[in-house]
Chain A
Amino acid sequence: MHSKFFSNLVASQNFPFYVTGALFLILFGIGSVMFDSFFSLQVFLNLFIDNAPLIIVTVGITFTILSGFGGIDLSVGAVVSLSCMTLAVLMRDTSISPYVCMAIVLLIGIVVGLVNGLLITYFRLQPFIVTLGTMFLCRGFTAILSRDSVPISNDAYSELAFYSFEFGEYFLSLGSVIALSMVVIATLILRYTSFGRGVYAIGGNEQSARLMGLKTDSIRVRVYIISGFCAALGGICYSWIMLSGYTLHGLGMEMDAIASSVIGGTQLMGGVGFMPGTLLGVMIQGTILTIISFQGTLSAWWTKIVVGLLLCLFIVMQALVNSHKNKLMNQIAEGSVKADKK
């Protein structure tokens, strides 16, 4: 009885999510035991505040991974950098209102996503190569706008950056609230809209999705547009933290986002993934960073090594879970054959 419960748990759809959640609790628990002031609501909330851009970017990249066909968006880090730089340069050289600047930046993100999506669907090119190209393109454009760091010194914009939602002694920044609402919206879209179900469908099996009458190309283009939009929005949140534009902003962010997504239970083959899991994936990385900064003597490279180890753990776990599921499926199939014979 016990083993059957365990077997069903492993085979359940949300098993990776439970593991990620448990791991997050363990990591946070380790931090709380090790350091006196670690266990507080504000340390927890800081995870959202510090990682708001990464959360938003990860939401976008998860859409592309879910859509299958080797789906991935490597351009997100570069789009973050381009967004910061565009904001900084626009506010320095023109007197356009910051809100219009932000709209322009979001539009840039959408255009980059549209270009990615069209190249991938129309010419049937590999997402990896296409988004690698647009990644180089966006990094290059950022440097063309300015090679030096450009500070953002617009008063109205700084006010937005420092805007915080206070409740009692605790607070959340505007960026973190946007990030959390993006996770909620994305979860709802994936769960309850036909578009969201379509994303899972083309990720699971594109052929059968097409035979079912889904417009696979249109769904895929929209997925990349969402990713571009999220990257630009992430860029805006990043600029609220940095208050500057620089060519090296968001360097390697795409890999952090992919790692978070995988730790959160998304399978890179597409079709399997749970959005709140990716939020936990980002928070696990954030917790490791927080523990290291509380410890004080450990160096930052330990983050990379620990994240690598966690990735390894999750990937091997996914492989084992998948083989277990296959075994269970075979058992069920055999069982039905036996039942037929009777």
Chain B
Amino acid sequence: MENLVKKFTSSSLALPLVALVILLLFNAFFVNDFFKIEVMDNGNLYGRPIDILYRASSLIILALGMTFVIATGGIDISVGAVVAISSATCCVMLGGDISGVPHHPFFIAIIASLCVGVLAGIWNGTLVAKFKIQAMVATLILMTAGRGIAQLMTDGQIITVYYKPFAYIGGNIPGIALPTAMIIALLMICLVLFLDKKTSIGLMIQSVGINANAARYAGIKVTAVLFAVYIFSGFCAGTAGLIEGSLIRAADANNAGLNMEMDAILAVTLGGTLMVGGRYYIGGTIIGAITIQTLTTTMYAIGVSSDRLPAVKAVVILMIIVFQSEKFKEMYRNYKLKHQNNGGSKEASNA
């Protein structure tokens, strides 16, 4: 038992999990019916836990792509803007006819949005992998220009889509109880876990993140790995863009995916992946994303307004990253050692 506890506290998942559990406990005591899940008349599930997972879906998808990027030692701050471009693409392809007749078939619009995401990934990948530009600077270009491009596509208007099936992505497909976004997120998680566990891609990404030169000498195609990672991040952003656009059934170039890149990076960091690259934790990232969404939902539930929310979020995040830091762990160890020495007990001599 003691071993198990020790194993758990030393694992990287411990801290994000503990934070999530504390949040959930807080909810259990202070928010009425937090864990209640109802079945609605139309067969859909409804309740706060479902709501959290549902709202966290697009964040999870973005964070998955971001995990790989950060694992290679890079960063992709353009994903929020890519979300805006992708949702704008889909809405422009479908068109804003009030009759609900789409200009192009739905699946073509979906494929176009995903392609736009991949295209953005190719752009970022080219700059980072081919031109060897620092990832943050390289993705800053698309972050600055991206919203401009999205506005150019929608002509500065908010295009509202009246085509019914478009709402299925962000809502429910009739007859299926779980929100579609959750299902998409689950599929993406499965895909990522498959890539991570069953192929050597995960190992390659890690070795590029730890030491790109050494990886190259070991025969890993560093350029190709970097390229793939940014394309995947772009693809994730494209998918999240579809969900975000469908949620409001419109293309809002200014606000779609606003600050989502920051939330995605936070989710990855909360999950224990270091910004310098190297080891990464898919599970941690998912828990991190859910923690952020739980925090948001909790704050809404107890009546904190959306614009005051960042203050609470910031305090929680700063606390968690300080607890995660090596320096803090060292301080904790020193404190424990001192304590044991002062007691002069048997434990100290055993240790």
Contacts and interface: CB of A to CB of B under 8 A. Distances in A.
A321 to B, nearest CB: 12
A130 B326 CA distance: 15
A269 B322 contact: no
Interface stretch (B27-35, B192-200, B312-320): B312-320
Nearest to A322: B132
B148 A304 contact: yes
A143 interface: yes
Given A130-B321, A301-B152, A307-B144, A124 B326 contact: yes
Nearest to B149: A305
Contacts of A130: 318, 321
Contacts of B326: 124
B275 interface: yes
Interface in B282-314: 305, 307-314
B137 A308 contact: no
A141 to B, nearest CB: 6
Given A130-B318, A143-B308, A259 B140 contact: yes
Given A255-B140, A268-B134, A311-B141, A141 B148 contact: no
A132 B266 contact: yes
Interface residues of B, number: 47
Contacts of A123: 321-322, 325, 327-328
A9 interface: no
A308 B77 CA distance: 14
A315 B130 CA distance: 13
B314 A125 contact: no
B136 interface: yes
Contact of B156 (A125, A140, A299, A309): A299
Contacts of B148: 301-305, 308
A73 to B, nearest CB: 13
Contacts of B276: 126
Contact of B308 (A144, A259, A315): A144
Interface in A116-137: 119, 122-126, 128-130, 132-137
Interface string A139-158: 11101100100000000000
B322 A119 contact: yes
A98 interface: no
A319 B131 contact: yes
B335 to A, nearest CB: 15
A119 B318 CA distance: 9
B143 interface: yes
Contact of B322 (A125, A258, A315, A316): A125
Contact of A136 (B132, B265, B314, B327): B314
A102 interface: no
A301 B142 CA distance: 13
B266 A315 contact: no
Contact of B144 (A122, A141, A308): A308
A131 to B, nearest CB: 11
A276 interface: no
Contacts of A255: 140, 143-144
Contacts of A301: 147-148, 151-152, 156, 253
Contacts of B318: 119, 130, 133-134, 137
A242 interface: no
A311 B140 contact: yes
A262 interface: yes
A262 B134 CA distance: 12
A21 interface: no
B138 A315 contact: yes
Nearest to B320: A133
Interface of A: 70, 72, 119, 122-126, 128-130, 132-137, 139-141, 143-144, 147, 247, 255, 258-259, 262, 268-269, 299, 301-305, 307-309, 311-312, 315-316, 318-319
Interface of B: 75, 127, 131-134, 136-138, 140-149, 151-152, 156, 253, 262, 265-266, 269, 275-276, 305, 307-315, 317-318, 321-322, 325-328
